[in-house]
Structure 1
Amino acid sequence: MASTSSTRSLSFEVVGEPLTIKGFTTTRWRIANLAPGDTGSCRLSLQLYMTERAAYRFNLTSRTPRLFVRAGEAGGTPSPDAITASQDVAAGWLDGEHRVLEVDMPLAIQAWIEAYLAHHGEAPEEGRKKKRKGAGRAREIES
Structure 2
Amino acid sequence: MPATTSCSLSFDLSSVPVTIKGFTRLRWKIVDLTPGEAGPCCLTLQLLMTERAAYRFNLASAAPRLFLRAGDSDTPEPQPSAITASQEVAAAWMDGEQCVLEVAMPLAIQAWIEAYLARHGEAPPEGRKKKRQGAGRARELQP
Q: Quick check: 2:68–2:84 contact (8 Å CA) kept in 1?
A: yes
Q: Quick check: 2:52–2:123 contact (8 Å CA) kept in 1?
A: yes
Partner of 1:54: 53
How many Å separate the matches in 2 of 1:69 and 1:86? 10
Structure 1: unaligned runs, 5 residues or longer: none
Partner of 2:97: 97
1:118 to partner: Cα distance:
0.3
How many Å separate the matches in 2 of 1:72 and 1:61? 28
The Cα offsets for residues 91-118 of structure 1, whole Å up to 9 and x where unpaired, read as: 1110110100000000000000000000
1:129 to partner: Cα distance:
3.1
1:131 to partner: Cα distance:
5.3
One-letter identity of the residue aligned with 1:81:
S
After TM superposition, list the pairs within 5 Å mapping 1:20-31 onto structure 2.
20-31=19-30
SS of 1:64's equivalent in the other structure is coil
One-letter identity of the residue aligned with 2:29:
R
Partner of 1:127: 127
Q: Within the alignment, does 1:74 sit opposite 2:57 as a pair? A: no
How many Å separate the matches in 1 of 2:13 and 2:4? 27
How many Å separate the matches in 1 of 2:121 and 2:82? 25
How many Å separate the matches in 2 of 1:26 and 1:141? 63
Farther-moved stretch of structure 1 (15-24 vs 83-92): 15-24
SS of 2:4's equivalent in the other structure is helix
SS of 1:5's equivalent in the other structure is coil
1:128 to partner: Cα distance:
1.2
* Change in CA separation of 1:141 and 1:113 when aligned onto 2, cut-off 3 Å: same
Cα RMSD, aligned residues only: 2.1
For these two proteins, the number of residue pairs brought into alignment is: 140
Q: TM-score, normalised by structure 2?
A: 0.89
Q: Quick check: 2:3–2:116 contact (8 Å CA) kept in 1?
A: no
The Cα offsets for residues 60-101 of structure 1, whole Å up to 9 and x where unpaired, read as: 001110000000111211010100000111111101101000
**Identity among equivalent pairs (%):** 65
1:127 to partner: Cα distance:
1.0
1:40 to partner: Cα distance:
0.7
Structure 2: unaligned runs, 5 residues or longer: none
Q: TM-score, normalised by structure 1?
A: 0.89
The Cα offsets for residues 12-40 of structure 1, whole Å up to 9 and x where unpaired, read as: 00111111223321100000000000111
